[in-house]
Structure 1
Amino acid sequence: MGAGGTGVATTDAQVWDGVVTLHGRVEHRLSKALQQRHGIGLSEFRALCRLARADDGELRMQELADLIGLNQSSVSRLVARLEAAGLTRRDMCPKDRRGVYTVITDEGRALKEQASPTYDETLSRALDAAADDPTLGPLVNLLRS
């Protein structure tokens, strides 16, 4: 029971457990499909998506980290992998020489476009499968409404 015997904490914990389970299942399927079909990880794909939508195709490293849910160290390693593959490049902020941006390249945009249908189809199939699970179905239906 939650504070004061309301049971709210228990209900919140159960809902959150469902979210975590759903998230794990979907992320696993997305990661596997992107890696197998396009040779790219899920974090790399998400970074390319965010960069493709950004003004001028560039974001500060910390901004990218915040948008895709990584810490500064992890996003630095991620961007290094993207750069090594020719999918992004680094650029310095002209107004603040300490500011480092990562910029999507034409190759990065092309890979993002190629991988997007895989991501979208896999996401839909993963959510459809979860909707058939009696414990996750109500959560999926709520998220889709």
Structure 2
Amino acid sequence: MAAMNAVNWLSEEEQRVWRRFLAVNSLLQERLDRDLQRRDGLTLVEYAILVHLSEAEGQRMRMRSLADTVIVSKSRLSHQVARLERDGYVRRESCVEDRRGFWAVLTEEGAKVLRAAAPGHVAQVREHLFDRLTEEQVARFGEIMAVLESGLRDTPAD
């Protein structure tokens, strides 16, 4: 029987930081999601889908790329896009290059809803995140997030 590897437990400080990170992440996402739903009838994931489509060339993205960009599973993306499609904000188009693939395309109505939702959403992000930090803290936070994101994206998930 192979010897078990010793666990490198978190220090007290690391545990405190980790738990605060989890709490902040959950609280921020919950508040932003609730505000978008109440004010604009969109979930945070749906808002992210509309934003990424609005920024994409031709306001369209392959479904697989969109799932990777929004960081959701393909099945969750499909469900969210179906709802957005039902509401007239997005349409799906078959991909000519790959008959199995689909494009998600932002509609004019989707762009209109996004333009209406964006100012309130940005105000909430500013209030709950950036207005609470100094410019120096924002710069450090951005550096830390870049390091963490890069490491996570470069490491294959199991």
Give the structure-2-normalised TM-score: 0.74
Query: Quick one: structure 1 residues 12 and 111, their matched pair in 2 at CA, closer, same or farther if it must change by over 3 Å?
Result: same
**Aligned-partner residue type, residue 49 of structure 2:** A
Relative contact order, higher structure (CA 8 A, sep 6+): 1
How many corresponding residue pairs? 134
SS of 1:91's partner is strand
Q: 1:96 and 1:128 mapped to 2: Cα distance?
A: 42
The structure 2 residue matched to 1:113, chosen from 112, 115, 128, is 115
SS of 1:18's partner is helix
- Identical amino acids, percent of aligned pairs: 31
**Aligned-partner residue type, residue 38 of structure 1:** D
Unaligned runs of 5+ in 2: 1-6, 144-158
Deviations 1:6-46 (A, max 9, x none): x7x33544433222211111111111111111111111001
SS of 1:81's partner is helix
SS of 1:101's partner is strand
Unaligned runs of 5+ in 1: 132-138
The structure 1 residue matched to 2:34, chosen from 32, 44, 57, is 32
Deviations 1:56-115 (A, max 9, x none): 111111111111121011011001000000000001112111111110000111111110
Q: Alpha carbon RMSD of aligned pairs, Å?
A: 2.5
Q: Does 1:122 align with 2:120?
A: no
Query: 1:56-75 residue pairs with structure 2 within 5 A?
Result: 56-75=58-77
Q: 1:65 and 1:115 mapped to 2: Cα distance?
A: 21
Query: 1:1-145 residue pairs with structure 2 within 5 A?
Result: 3=8, 9-10=10-11, 11-127=13-129, 142-143=140-141
Q: 2:94 and 2:130 mapped to 1: Cα distance?
A: 43
Give the structure-1-normalised TM-score: 0.81
**Aligned-partner residue type, residue 66 of structure 1:** D
Q: 1:17 and 1:130 mapped to 2: Cα distance?
A: 19
